[in-house]
Structure 1
Amino acid sequence: MKKKSIAIDMDGVLADIELQLIEHYNKATGKSLSKESIEGLSEEDAFTDRTLVREVLNADNFFRTLPVMPDAIESVRQLQENFEVFIVSAATEFPVSLAEKIAWLGEFFPFIKWENIILCGSKRIINTDYMIDDHCKNLDYCMGKPIMFTAFHNVNQTHHIRANNWKEVVAVLNQTVS
């Protein structure tokens, strides 16, 4: 029997980009943003200096040094027992991130085969049974079943199944195979 497939986003789902972006933004601007203070805001409203954000996201080692989301490693390993797992990142917007993301995955998710890593532009072409992402712009075009991973910018979105953390992702997906 063929396993069902899952596309898993990197930034904001596997990697805690919020924490690192907040730290870099605060250091550069002198502001004191926190995860709590930006909850419910769009990315544009939370980080108003968009030129600075692009500079930060294009800086060497930004993506390579992102912290791993709690329980992500163990959860993805567990999901591989019942699903074919693909890591899918819209990385081409920030070309410097391509090699960094591959190296990051090699360090933290070495059990993901190279052929199951997709670095792309638009995710509209991804055709998996499930997609786990923090952005509606990706989930709204999902060909399978979308699962929204909670992030500061999507807490007010209610039109997708939501998972607040990796334990909830595993619970949602395990319901589909039992």
Structure 2
Amino acid sequence: MRKPIIAVDMDDTICHLVKRAIHYNNIHFPTHPLRYEDMLEWNTDHLRHPECTEEVFFQRPGLYEELELFDEHVVEEMEKLHRDYDVIIVTAARPKTVHEKWNWLQRHMPFIPFDNFFVCKRKYLLEFDLLIDDGAHNLLPAMERGKQVLCIPHPWNLKAREQYPFPVMTSWQGAKERVDEMLQTRAAM
């Protein structure tokens, strides 16, 4: 019998990308400081300095290797999930950032094998039982396909959380138990 597949996003789900990108934006473009709380949409062009393109904002060399863990519980909970489920990391990445993301994952979660590392922007194309993600553009298609989801809340998904009934996970503490409960409830249906 196959283990349930838990798909887990990387950026702003198990680590903090936007906060670190904002940090560098504010150093290099002090006339256009950004705040995490103001990041209410995926498209932040209207907030950034004209010279701060998406490539500059999200593709600074070394950025992905220095990201902070989401919280102090994420590694332990991911290891618990990995023991009982088929955990796959599903992350959108440009070619320049794939190596950095893999290095980050191996530094912090070496128990995740390479075979479970997927670079994919359109996550709905993959098969999984439950998705943990911060992007409404990933959560909604999964829900529409009848998949379980857990939303990591951030300002950019607030509107979607108000519109759709995404279950929310504000901390990784107790994540394994939460996933167990969701999948058991689903199996009982």
1:151 aligns with 2:150: no
Structure 1, unmatched stretches of 5+, are: none
Q: Alignment RMSD, CA only? A: 2.1
| Matched-pair contact (CA < 8 Å) for 2:13–2:70 | yes
| Matched-pair contact (CA < 8 Å) for 1:56–1:62 | no
Residues 47 and 151 of structure 1: CA distance in aligned 2, closer, same or farther (over 3 Å): farther
Deviation beyond 4 Å, 4+ runs, structure 1: none
TM-score by length of 1: 0.87
Corresponding pairs, count: 174
Structure 2, unmatched stretches of 5+, are: 185-189
Superposition deviation, residue 33 in structure 1: 3.4
CA distance in 2, matches of 1:83, 1:149: 20
TM-score by length of 2: 0.82
CA distance in 2, matches of 1:97, 1:38: 25
Superposition deviation, residue 5 in structure 1: 0.9
Q: Which has the larger radius of gyration?
A: 2
Q: How does 1:18-167 map to 2 (within 5 A)?
A: 18-30=18-30, 31-35=32-36, 37-38=37-38, 41-45=40-44, 48-49=47-48, 52=52, 53-70=54-71, 71-91=73-93, 94-142=94-142, 143=145, 144-158=147-161, 159=164, 160-167=166-173
Residues 68 and 4 of structure 1: CA distance in aligned 2, closer, same or farther (over 3 Å): same
2:181 aligned partner:
175
| Matched-pair contact (CA < 8 Å) for 1:123–1:138 | yes
Q: Which amino acid aligns with 2:126?
A: I
Match of 2:47, SS state, is coil
Q: Which amino acid aligns with 1:174?
A: D
Residues 171 and 47 of structure 1: CA distance in aligned 2, closer, same or farther (over 3 Å): farther
